[in-house]
Structure 1
Amino acid sequence: MARRRDESVPLSEAFGLPAQVNLRTAAKALDLSLSTAYRRARQGDFPCRLHKEGRIYVVRLRDLMRGLGIQDVRVQYDDIEAGARFASGEHEP
């Protein structure tokens, strides 16, 4: 099925970001040391929602973005393509 030109996607999907990240990545994004991140996770005081997969803490990207104050807005494919053209210097006057 071909995509329609007017479809939109979440910004995170447009850039191919993972659906979830490990605690180390989340801690780095939140400017926390890894030991502080683990301590806060154990205490239930981590800045965003955590999940455990086995013994590993993971953070869904949408929860991390919310914790960082970043809105995962929907963007139009045409806008993404126009932005790429502009960034490469192919913009119209």
Structure 2
Amino acid sequence: MTRRDESVPFSELFGLPLEVGLRTAAKALNLSPSTAYRRAAHGGFPCPLRRKGRTYVVRLPDLMRGLGIQDVRVLYDDVEAGARFAGEKADS
């Protein structure tokens, strides 16, 4: 087996979107949509927002940071080893 030392951010590994809408971010942050829109309009939303046309979007790294989740880099070899380990456990 060839050893690769490449890594990828956790969010990219699982195919998470680069940004989410305000409603999705609000739900993740346990805010009602009306509270989220009110905070967005007055600059009090817990994550940096940007406008995309008439809507607000939140970059996924900003949302993860707001939730206290670190978007760490994951080594491909670790992912492969973890998948093999999980497969062995499922077979037993």
TM-score (norm 2): 0.88
Give the CA deviation at 1:90: 5.0
Unaligned runs of 5+ in 1: none
Write the letter of the residue equivalent to 1:37: A
Unaligned runs of 5+ in 2: none
* Equivalent residue number for residue 45 of structure 1: 44
* Root mean square deviation, CA, Å: 1.6
Q: Distance in 2 between matches of 1:47 and 1:76?
A: 30
* Equivalent residue number for residue 13 of structure 2: 14
Aligned-residue sequence identity (percent) comes to 75
* Equivalent residue number for residue 4 of structure 2: 5
Paired residues for 1:64-83 under 5 Å: 64-83=63-82
Q: How many residues align?
A: 88
Write the letter of the residue equivalent to 2:39: R
What stretches of structure 1 move > 4 A for 4+ residues in a row? none
Point out the structure with the larger helix share: 2
Q: Deviations over 1:18-77 (max 9, x none)?
A: 100001110111011111110110010000000000101000000001111111111100
* Equivalent residue number for residue 62 of structure 2: 63
Give the CA deviation at 1:5: 1.6
